[in-house]
């Protein structure tokens, strides 16, 4: 990424409304977000010549292009591994722009999982697929270990055992995210903060995870416009320059179930991403003013803070004490409320929040933001970004 660093930027962001059940198709949601992102950048569909999305998105690039009125495409790409693809979409777009494969690339992700298909439901068929993932799943799905919450619970229990972490420590993450969401009108949980006692009283999903340790399911879509940094500076909005982008997979990686590693209390794939981000950007954790941490489940927020070097292994429980990751703490995390509080759009809404923080237009604006770190889904091969002032 060193040859790309600083050469590209996110020039536009767009999103559908998260704080209601839409009842609209995912194609409609995606098109609406793409229109909004192009309008935000001051561009038209005819300017777009590249598109990137997730392998798991239900909308083919050509279908979204047709719906929006985008013409010829010279670049399109799909990034694997669910939420781990979020920042990877921007990485692919940046590479396309920097190498001349495309000039304006749109990244998008759409969900109607609150009013439509439930993304997080158990799927016993996972273990029957004639694929490498089907083989992995055949070891545990038949025995009831069948949902992402159950898979993460295994990691969480080991992490608690190894470092003396408690359910209350996980709860402090949930409380912080809901505090931020409560002042964000776009959030599903706008006006609905929670207390640590409420977290502890919420029903069990899979021990040690309570309901309030788990992100919601959401309707909505997010789109991002990536172009050359020089061009972005002449567009409608101030750009968020891509200082670094990385993808990473750890040794012994399996999809959410890397249980056969020697140490299953960490997320080494996020360590791979973190080391690349610091190396390519020339920055350090102390130079990040706010972090957008993928928070599908609260325990993995603590793991990520450690893997990224904001604190040592086993120290995140102390790092988050006394509001350490709240808006007025030493590292504000997810000022928009994250996936626990705003919406679960597979992490893409977090990238949009990072752009707003760089622009100085966020609803819960952190003072003096120069650099924002963003992470994508964890427990899977993952990705990350550092966005900076133009």
Residues with active-site annotation? 294, 344
How many whole angstroms separate alpha carbon 257 and alpha carbon 124? 16
Neighbours of 318 (CB within 10 A): 12
Cβ 174 vs Cβ 298: under 8 Å:
yes
Cα 110 to Cα 130: distance, rounded to the nearest angstrom = 27
The answer to whether residues 37 and 225 touch, using CB atoms and an 8 Å cutoff, is yes
Q: Is 8 helix (H, G, I), strand (E, B) or coil?
A: strand
Q: How far apart are CA 357 and CA 360, in angstroms?
A: 5
Taking each continuous run of H as one helix and of E as one strand, the counts in the chain are 13, 11
Distance, CA of 195 to CA of 281 (rounded, Å): 37
Q: What is the C-alpha separation between 15 and 37, in angstroms, rounded?
A: 7
How far apart CA 121 and CA 142 sit, in angstroms, is 15
CA triple 195-203-267, angle to 5 deg: 80
Q: Are residues 313 and 298 in contact, defined by beta-carbon separation less than 8 angstroms?
A: no
Q: In the chain, what is the straight-line distance between the N-terminal and C-terminal CA atoms, in Å? A: 18
Within 8 A by CB and 6+ apart from 55, the residues are 78, 79, 80, 81, 85
């Amino acid at each position: 990424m060193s040859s790309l660093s600083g050469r590209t930027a996110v020039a536009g962001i767009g999103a559908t409304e998260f704080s209601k059940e839409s009842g609209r198709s995912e194609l409609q949601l995606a098109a609406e977000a793409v229109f909004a992102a192009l309008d935000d950048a001051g561009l038209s569909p005819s300017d777009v010549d590249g598109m990137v999305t997730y392998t798991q998105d239900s909308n083919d690039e050509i279908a979204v292009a047709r719906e929006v009125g985008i013409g010829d495409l010279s670049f399109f790409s799909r990034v694997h591994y669910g939420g781990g693809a979020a920042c990877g979409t921007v990485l692919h777009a940046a590479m396309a722009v920097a190498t001349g494969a495309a000039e304006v690339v749109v990244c998008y992700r759409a969900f109607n999982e609150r009013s439509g298909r439930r993304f997080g439901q158990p799927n016993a068929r996972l273990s029957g697929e004639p694929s490498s993932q089907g083989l992995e799943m055949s070891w545990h799905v038949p025995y009831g270990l069948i949902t992402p919450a159950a898979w993460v619970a295994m990691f969480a229990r080991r992490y608690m055992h190894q470092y003396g972490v408690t359910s209350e420590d996980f709860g402090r993450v949930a409380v912080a995210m809901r505090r931020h969401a409560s002042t964000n009108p776009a959030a599903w949980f706008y006006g609905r903060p929670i207390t640590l006692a409420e977290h502890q009283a919420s029903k069990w999903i899979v021990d040690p995870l309570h309901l309030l340790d788990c992100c919601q399911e959401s309707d909505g879509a997010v789109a991002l416009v990536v172009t050359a940094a020089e061009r972005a500076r002449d567009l409608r909005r101030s750009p968020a320059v891509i200082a670094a982008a990385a993808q990473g997979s750890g040794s012994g990686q399996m999809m959410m179930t890397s249980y056969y590693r020697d140490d299953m209390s960490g997320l080494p794939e996020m360590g791979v991403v973190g080391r690349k981000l610091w190396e390519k950007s020339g920055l350090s954790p102390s130079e990040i003013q706010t972090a957008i941490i993928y928070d599908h489940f609260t325990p993995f927020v603590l793991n990520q803070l450690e893997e990224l070097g904001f604190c040592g292994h086993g120290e995140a429980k102390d790092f988050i004490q006394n509001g350490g990751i709240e808006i007025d703490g030493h590292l504000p995390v997810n000022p928009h409320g994250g996936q626990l509080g705003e919406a679960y759009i597979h992490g893409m809404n977090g990238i949009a929040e990072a752009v707003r923080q760089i622009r100085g237009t966020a609803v819960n604006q952190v003072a003096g933001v120069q650099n924002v770190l963003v992470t994508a889904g964890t427990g899977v091969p993952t990705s990350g970004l550092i966005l900076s002032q133009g």
